[in-house]
Amino acid sequence: DSYPFRFPQVEDELQLALSLRKNQEISSLTQAIKQFGMTAYLKENPQKLSSFQKIRFFLLLAFIRKPRLLLFDDLFCKLSSFEKQIVWENLQFLKKEGITILMTSSNLEDVLPADRLLILNQGILLFDDVPLAVLKEDSLLNKIGLQLPFFVDLSLKLQYYNLIDTIYLNQEELVDALWKSN
């Protein structure tokens, strides 16, 4: 993992990002540092951060710099489920700040919280819709080699047998729906 950091500490990189804002103030930098979970890492060398910490650090830098668009390729590939949830929360925070986020992934489970899901196969756009609408096309997704997330697949099967009436994206929602249907 070699990244183009200029300074030996996270706080130095943050200062550089602030200096490049051209007199635009960030009123809540301390709050943003907390929001992105970087408080304990300010004196750390950015090169020594874990993959999860580096992602959060980059998202904090994006918050400071305010680009119009962020592009990620398989952002979640090295993260645990817990870490993925934290990163999604950080991405939602950036989205509220007006930053457009575009990401690629070969794992449908990683993109369930997305606003829009585009499925490409050999350069051809097959789907462009909200994730739930795309996931209902499970037979075509399977044909092109995409595996549905477990709870989506289970929901579709239970829906087929009229045991539930909607697709659930996680275990808690599905269990609650099954208990309520009895």
Q: What pLDDT sits at residue 3? A: 54
d(C-alpha 142, C-alpha 124), whole Å? 16
CA end-to-end distance (rounded Å), the chain: 51
d(C-alpha 4, C-alpha 168), whole Å? 41
| H helix or E strand, kind and range, residue 92 | helix 81-96
- Provide the sign of the torsion angle of the four alpha carbons 57, 62, 65, 70, taken in this order: positive
Confidence at 141, pLDDT banded by 50, 70, 90:
very high
d(C-alpha 21, C-alpha 159), whole Å? 51
Q: What pLDDT sits at residue 87? A: 96
How confident is the model over 41-92, as pLDDT tens digits?
999 999 899 999 999 999 999 998 889 999 999 999 989 989 999 999 999 9
Average pLDDT, the chain: 88
- Nearest alpha-carbon partner for 36 in 87, 99, 2: 87
Confidence at 129, pLDDT banded by 50, 70, 90:
very high
d(C-alpha 90, C-alpha 52), whole Å? 12
pTM over 0.85: no
Q: Pick 25 or 87 by higher pLDDT.
A: 87
Confidence at 32, pLDDT banded by 50, 70, 90:
confident
- The percent of residues in the chain predicted with pLDDT above 90, rounded, is 53
| H helix or E strand, kind and range, residue 11 | helix 10-19
d(C-alpha 135, C-alpha 117), whole Å? 9
* pLDDT at 8 exceeding the cut of 90: no
d(C-alpha 156, C-alpha 171), whole Å? 14
* pLDDT at 1 exceeding the cut of 50: no
